[in-house]
């Protein structure tokens, strides 16, 4: 696979939408760079007594529509251009799903699986020590992303409280329920994605019981698979970082999850064929769901994809060149900034509950989330039809227009 610079891809997507919008040059220039970048060195005392220094970033891309908002990822492949792209995509996503936020993203270069729990906690707390003056409920609101959990968010909120002398749960979302988390937040991204799957499958006229392959079995992929099966789709393939499994007759997701818990992998699940991650993307299925990392679908393998519909649950899984190939082949790509926006929409619901101090039931939260997803789908579809373009460009046109309006209203 080619090494792709995600920020270049993001800027290409921005240019495509800006062209249709005939966006003024000033606004385009503002959107081509993040507003602020924090780059920190994080010294952590390891269990063996030595100090190890980790690199961390927070990119605050745009805050025209509200505080910067977006997750923090812990991954060995994190780099500045990736975080810049992810922060830009958050700005777009928050405008597509229409929550009053700008966009941000952060990350630490680390493989958290190689740290003890104590080391992970010290790393998380130290990161907050270094950035706490630049975040806050009305400034920048982090959340979980790849390899970060409610437990990590709890340590961070606690550290923020110690440093500021105030317990302000609205500073970070995706927290455990016991400290101001929201009902429904954990499954929210998968839940929202399945709402989009249902709407898109119906618009694409897929038959009931359409087959689905999911690449990536973290928080997002596993909830998505479970809820898609519940909604009547036939999930036939799943994969994690170690490889995947394929069963043309369909999988029982709960049983597969149990198996993964016991063995640590999906591979070898009885009655299935082992497939590599690359092969999973090319299986003869109706719907393909990339739910792992960026740039899984590139120009070359885009030619071999057989699905009719792609629901992007990862951020940035398809490169701009692959988009061109897929569009030409009549394959619908429902972009990340729409499909996985249920996570941040529910982060918004968590934040409003924290700020008001009044909490909703799971049913209430999921009902509100369903409305956000339905609205976002309806609005993107309308732009897609109006401009006869692909869904990504439609989502970007909708979002950039909204961000540009806010920039103009506030004055440059
Ligand atoms: N990390 C998630 C995303 O990429 C959620 C961000 C948030 O809730 O702020 O959308």
**Mutation test of ligand 1: which of 143, 147, 193, 292 has the most ligand atoms closer than 8 Å to its C-beta?**
143
Looking at ligand 1, which atom is closest to the CA of residue 145? Answer: 1
Rg (Cα) of the chain, in Å, rounded? Answer: 20
Q: For ligand 1, atom 9, name the residue with the nearest CA.
A: 70
Cα 124 to ligand 1 centroid, rounded to whole Å: 17
**Mutation test of ligand 1: which of 171, 174, 224, 350 has the most ligand atoms closer than 8 Å to its C-beta?**
174
Neighbours of 368 (CB within 10 A): 17
The pTM of this model reads 0.97
3-class DSSP state of 108: strand
Query: In whole angstroms, what is the distance from residue 162 CA to residue 280 CA?
Result: 46
Query: In whole angstroms, what is the distance from residue 213 CA to residue 248 CA?
Result: 10
Q: Which of 8, 52, 105, 205 is catalytic?
A: 105
Residues of the chain with pLDDT under 70: none
Answer positive or negative: Cα dihedral of 184, 71, 138, 95: negative
Cα 269 to ligand 1 centroid, rounded to whole Å: 31
Neighbours of 97 (CB within 10 A): 28
CB 251 within 8 A of CB 283: no
Residues in CB range of 21: below 8 A, 6 or more apart: 397, 400, 401, 404
306-324 as b/e, with b when 16 or more CB fall inside 10 Å?
A: ebbbbbbbbbbbbbbbbbe
For ligand 1, is residue 145 a contact (CB within 6 Å)?
A: yes
For ligand 1, is residue 147 a contact (CB within 6 Å)?
A: no
Check residue 23 and give its pLDDT: 97
Active site residue 267: no
Domain boundaries defined on the chain = 55-179
Check residue 412 and give its pLDDT: 75
**Distance between first and last Cα of the chain:** 41
What secondary structure does DSSP assign to 246-288, as a single string? E-TT---HHHHHHHHHHHSSSTT-TT-EEE-HHHHHTSS-SEE
Check residue 3 and give its pLDDT: 87
For ligand 1, is residue 186 a contact (CB within 6 Å)?
A: no
Nearest to 290 by CA among 327, 262, 322, 268: 322
Q: Which long-range contacts (CB under 8 A, 24 or more apart) does 322-330 make?
A: 322/297, 322/298, 323/390, 323/392, 324/299, 325/299, 326/297, 326/302, 327/390, 329/302, 329/303, 329/305
Which pLDDT tens digit goes with each residue over 308-319?
A: 999 999 999 999
| Check whether domain 55-179 has CATH 3.40.50.10480, yes or no | no
Q: Is 172 exposed, middle or buried (0-12, 13-18, 19+ CB in 10 A)?
A: buried
Check residue 2 and give its pLDDT: 79
Cα 107 to ligand 1 centroid, rounded to whole Å: 12
């Amino acid at each position: 696979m080619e090494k792709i610079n995600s920020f270049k891809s993001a800027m290409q997507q921005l240019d495509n939408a800006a062209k249709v919008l005939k966006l003024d040059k000033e606004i385009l220039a503002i959107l081509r760079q993040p507003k602020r970048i924090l780059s920190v060195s994080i010294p952590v005392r390891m269990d063996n007594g030595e100090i190890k220094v980790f690199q961390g970033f927070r990119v605050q891309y745009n805050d025209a529509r509200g505080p910067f908002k977006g997750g923090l990822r812990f991954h060995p492949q994190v780099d500045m251009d990736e975080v810049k792209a992810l922060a830009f995509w958050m700005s777009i996503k928050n405008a597509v799903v229409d929550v009053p936020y700008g966009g941000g993203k952060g990350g630490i270069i680390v493989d958290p699986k190689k740290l003890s729990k104590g080391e992970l906690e010290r790393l998380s707390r130290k990161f907050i020590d270094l950035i706490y003056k630049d975040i806050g409920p009305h400034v920048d609101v982090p959340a979980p992303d790849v390899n970060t959990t409610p437990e990590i968010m709890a340590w961070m909120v606690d550290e923020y409280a110690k440093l500021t002398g105030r317990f302000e749960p609205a500073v970070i979302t995706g927290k455990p329920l016991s400290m101001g988390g929201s009902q429904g937040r954990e499954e929210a991204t998968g839940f929202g994605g399945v709402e989009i799957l249902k709407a898109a499958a119906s618009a694409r006229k897929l038959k009931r019981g359409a087959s689905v392959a999911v690449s990536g079995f973290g928080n997002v992929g596993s909830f998505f698979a479970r809820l898609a099966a519940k909604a009547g789709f036939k999930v036939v393939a799943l994969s994690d970082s170690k490889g995947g499994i394929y069963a043309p007759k369909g999988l029982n997701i709960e049983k597969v999850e149990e198996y993964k818990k016991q063995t640590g992998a999906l591979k070898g699940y009885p009655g299935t064929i082992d497939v590599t991650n690359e092969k999973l993307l090319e299986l003869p299925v109706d719907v393909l769901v990339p739910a792992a990392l960026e740039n899984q679908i590139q120009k070359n393998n885009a030619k071999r994809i057989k699905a009719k519909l792609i629901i992007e649950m990862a951020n940035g899984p398809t490169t701009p060149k692959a988009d061109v190939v897929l569009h030409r082949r009549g394959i619908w790509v429902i972009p990340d900034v729409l499909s996985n926006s249920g996570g941040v929409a529910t982060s918004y619901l968590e934040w409003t509950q924290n700020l008001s101090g009044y909490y909703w039931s799971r049913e209430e939260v999921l009902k509100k989330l369903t409305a956000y997803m339905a609205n976002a789908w309806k609005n993107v579809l309308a732009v897609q039809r109006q401009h006869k373009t692909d869904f990504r460009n439609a989502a970007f046109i909708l979002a950039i227009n909204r961000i540009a309006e806010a920039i103009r209203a506030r004055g440059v």
